[in-house]
Structure 1
Amino acid sequence: MFKRNDDIREAKGNIPFWILAEHLNIHENTLLNWMKKEMPEEKKKSIFNAIEAAKKEWN
């Protein structure tokens, strides 16, 4: 099955989407809707920043 934004899914690991949504100041459903289509690089960059911030919290 083809999944879009695999790079984000791989980078987030087991961090829940709701944690990333909190870091982005958006609703979890908004993030899940973004994941349905391949995102522009600028939006991906902000998500990768949120992933890094969440990993610092979780570790």
Structure 2
Amino acid sequence: MSKKNLDIRKAIKESGLPHWLIAEHIGITDSTFSKWLRKELSDETKERIFGIIQRLESEAQKNN
């Protein structure tokens, strides 16, 4: 069985952001976010998550 949402997983790993922080910005718990990643997400949901990752990365760069 192959993992789902590899593009999201890769983006999270490369960003170095913790799952809980992304989940917090979505408005869900980290355990719910982990459950979301088990099934392939819609393109709309993926775009939302990618946007959050980009925004958090930008904020982190501004603070460093």
Report TM bin, short chain. 0.7 to 0.9
Matched, 1:49 2:51: yes
Q: Which runs of 4+ in 1 moved over 6 A?
A: none
Among 11, 14, 17, the residue aligned to 1:15? 17
Structure 2 unaligned blocks of 5 or more: none
Query: In the TM superposition, what is the alpha-carbon distance from 1:57 to its structure 2 partner?
Result: 2.6
Q: Please give the per-residue CA displacement for 1:15-58, whole angstroms capped at 9, x wherever unaligned.
A: 11001011111111111100000011111111111111121232
Percent identity (aligned): 39
Aligned length, in residue pairs: 59
TM value normalised by structure 2? 0.80
Q: Is the radius of gyration larger for structure 1 or structure 2? A: 2
Structure 1 unaligned blocks of 5 or more: none
- Coordinate RMSD, CA, aligned: 1.3
Matched, 1:4 2:36: no
